[in-house]
Structure 1
Amino acid sequence: MAGRLNAAPGGAGRGPRPRRGAVALGGLTAAVLVVHLWLLSGARELHEHWMPDTPEPDRIEAVFVRELKPAAPPPPAAPEKAGPPGTPRRILPAIPSLGEGPAPLPPDPVASEPPAELQALAMPPALAVSDAVGEWTPGIEWPLSTELDYRLTGDYRGAVYGDARVQWLRDGSHYQVHLEAWIGPRIAPLMSRRLSSDGEITPLGLVPRRFDEVTGGLAGGNRHQTLRFEDGGVRLADGRREPMPDGTQDAASQFVQFTWLFLTGRQVAQGDQLIQQSLALPRHLHLWRYRVTELEEVATPLGPIPAWHVDSDMDDTRGDMQAEFWLAPSLQYLPVRVRLWQNRAKDPRTHIDLVLKAPPKQALAPAPASAPAASAAAEAASTAGR
């Protein structure tokens, strides 16, 4: 009886016939496994494209011990004195142009011979001998490590308020720029964003190696985009590699690059001047255009500060972030105001506006080794090598 109950209707010795439901369940399970494997493969690919596979560089340490006081900018370099008749005039190489239609070079300014201590800050747009030969070390033409604090206002689905901080950090020829902004209290911001650039200082300006954009906060979610600069190209946040011209900057390094250009006289500050700058942003590589409009007085909690207004002159940014800024000659051409737009053409209301709220703070210059100390160090090294 038991054998008959367990036997198949077709005769003894055959196993039980699978039910249709079991077959369907097995097929569904296989399909789900295939879909999961496909999703995992896609997720892995997205992770490789969007998420950084290496941690960010450690932040350069700096101790800000003094306030930067307003001072008159250094005079421009004196024109080169003409030699005897028949002597060919030395042609000074200009900054390499990016793309077609660069702004024409201004005529040589007429000025008296500046003091020796200011000549390094008033370098013409040419390479000094030390720039081109042997090991190069950044000099006083680059600002010391500097921290700037800003008051933040703007509009993001309504009026927003907060604070921001920019740090320019340097250790030898290694630099970092960090722009951090937060809406609401810093301890628990409604939204925060950080732009960080890490790279090298060279005789021709900043050379970024890595850029990170981190968005967070209660309403900002958690998103991290990374750019990696390689020889002749940049790896965008989605993994695409785009060729790039020399001199390309990122969204954070561009501010200090402009400061250096104006501070050294490589770019003469004057109204109605068009400046082209290759710019790598998380989604696209642009030949960006900026226009220097006029010298304006920026109202700050420190009082009015004259600054050159540099505004974006782009018709189509393809949705990338846009910036305009004000560079103050009396504060080493550092930005005393920065305005950032997420998509200015389509959404002119959404922006944040940063205005300097306290004197900039700077680190002390590293003290050069004295001659006796250097001699003793060399003697010690020589003795250790014997």
Structure 2
Amino acid sequence: MNPTQTSRRRRQGWVLAGLTAASVLLHFLVTDQVGRTLPTTEDANESKIKRMEATYVKEVKLTAPPVGVARPAPAPQAPGASGKAKKRKVLPPAKKASQEEDKPAVVAEAASAASAADPAASAPTKVAEAPPAPASTPSSPAKGPTFEWPKATKVSFKLDGYFRGPITGTSAVEWLRQDNRYQVHMDIQVGGGLFTVQATSEGEITPDGLYPTRNEAKGRRMFIDAPVRSIVFDRDEITFANGDKAPRPPGVQDLISNIIQLAYRFTLDPSLLKPGNSIPVKVATAKQLEDVVLDIVNEETIDSPMGPLNTFHVKPRKLIDTGSPLPPIEIWFAPNLQYLPVRIYAERKDGPRDKQFTMDMQMERPPQQVGAQD
């Protein structure tokens, strides 16, 4: 074989190798994209949560803070009544004047949950018409819309931060509801979608707020899907992602449901947001229960696409250092936007430099919403 033929064969070999590599890469990309759209069999690394869907029809407007509906008080017992007392009809407690002024305040979800707890409360009753409310005066406190659990709400954020260099991206916190079932999603995309994180809380709505039943977190780095990490909330115990178990304490939340649970608590009791207050909460992370105190740092005006926005800065701190790598997540809640989170910030400045990071999510557009009656 002469040198010319040898050189030609070598070039053909390189071309064939290049075409083979390109074919393999194209096959991988197509298989990856198609595979993500096809149903798969259940296994330990697949999501057990089927995401609810919503079509958003309006933007949330600035209003006075919503007026919450406190859970109904139990029916009073007659003096000396015993466990074997004769069956008697229990009338619902009389409404106060302030409640009569706000008859629309009894929302469907609160009524449904209350009737489940006390069947007598679901009996139809005739309510007398309240007298006209007195005209408001400049000194009267502003009264906002009646609180109700919407069908869907989405707050979109722009994301800036640092991890081994500057990072940018987008994120969203989304609330979805079907009857008394809820989902809360936090979706994060960095680098045009090359890196993604999705965290979901699913559960039930009760008069005390959210009752999580499952939490899932998953992600994607380049073309590789990370395994799904799940926390399962049973009635009496919690199973963490590493298989450990612990008794379920009353009022426990996961990291995602706690965002919406706080907004609900602030709606029912705005006095919680007094700067200097501290609110203890119990949170389930991927590995363990955490005792956390939420400090109301201050009342702060921040810039937003809707103009200057009054917010309350809430910062968590752990009661006990458990060695968890999760950094505290600071949140700014806006009372005039239904107590929605409009800024979320996290940082880790200790440890090796290649593990340090900051993440700053700031609302980039007015929140979108589907109302309960839409």
On whether the aligned pair clears a TM of 0.5, the verdict is yes
1:59 maps to a residue whose letter is: R
Whole-angstrom distance in 2 between the partners of 1:76 and 1:253 = 19
2:63 to 52, 71, 75: 71
Give the match for residue 233 of structure 2: 229
1:326 maps to a residue whose letter is: W
Residues 214-244 of structure 1 show CA distances to partners (whole Å, capped at 9, x for unaligned) of: 1222298624211111122111111111112
Whole-angstrom distance in 1 between the partners of 2:295 and 2:321 = 15
Q: Which runs of 5+ in 2 are unaligned?
A: 1-42, 71-96, 123-145
Whole-angstrom distance in 2 between the partners of 1:269 and 1:220 = 42
1:245 to 246, 249, 253: 249
Please tell me whether the aligned partners of residues 315 and 329 of structure 2 are also in contact (alpha carbons under 8 angstroms): yes
> Please, what TM-score do these two structures have when normalized by structure 2?
0.66
Please tell me whether the aligned partners of residues 244 and 287 of structure 2 are also in contact (alpha carbons under 8 angstroms): no
Whole-angstrom distance in 1 between the partners of 2:104 and 2:273 = 18
Aligned pairs for 1:2-13 (under 5 A) are none
Please tell me whether the aligned partners of residues 142 and 260 of structure 1 are also in contact (alpha carbons under 8 angstroms): no
Q: 1:293 to 1:119 in 2, by over 3 A?
A: farther
1:251 maps to a residue whose letter is: L
1:366 maps to a residue whose letter is: Q
Residues 319-364 of structure 1 show CA distances to partners (whole Å, capped at 9, x for unaligned) of: 22421101100000000011134x5654794121111111111113
Aligned length: 280
Residues 185-230 of structure 1 show CA distances to partners (whole Å, capped at 9, x for unaligned) of: 13xx2x2111101111111111111111112222986242111111
Per-residue deviation, 1:312 = 1.2
Give the match for residue 332 of structure 1: 338
Per-residue deviation, 1:130 = 4.0
Task: Please tell me the root mean square deviation across aligned C-alpha atoms, in Å.
Answer: 3.5
SS at 2:260 equivalent: helix
Q: 1:247 to 1:201 in 2, by over 3 A?
A: same
Per-residue deviation, 1:77 = 8.5
SS at 2:263 equivalent: helix
Whole-angstrom distance in 1 between the partners of 2:368 and 2:117 = 32
Q: 1:266 to 1:247 in 2, by over 3 A?
A: farther
SS at 2:258 equivalent: helix
Whole-angstrom distance in 1 between the partners of 2:215 and 2:341 = 20
1:132 equivalent in alignment to 2:137: no
Give the match for residue 48 of structure 1: none
Whole-angstrom distance in 1 between the partners of 2:171 and 2:287 = 24
SS at 2:273 equivalent: coil
1:282 equivalent in alignment to 2:282: no
SS at 1:60 equivalent: coil
Q: 1:65 to 1:77 in 2, by over 3 A?
A: closer
Give the match for residue 321 of structure 2: 316
Q: 1:75 to 1:208 in 2, by over 3 A?
A: closer
Give the match for residue 52 of structure 1: 44
Per-residue deviation, 1:262 = 0.6
Whole-angstrom distance in 2 between the partners of 1:197 and 1:294 = 28
Give the ranges of 4+ consecutive aligned residues of structure 1 lying more than 6 Å apart after TM superposition: none
Residues 22-68 of structure 1 show CA distances to partners (whole Å, capped at 9, x for unaligned) of: xxxxxxxxxxxxxxxxxxxxxxxxxxxxx736642211122210110
Whole-angstrom distance in 2 between the partners of 1:136 and 1:54 = 42
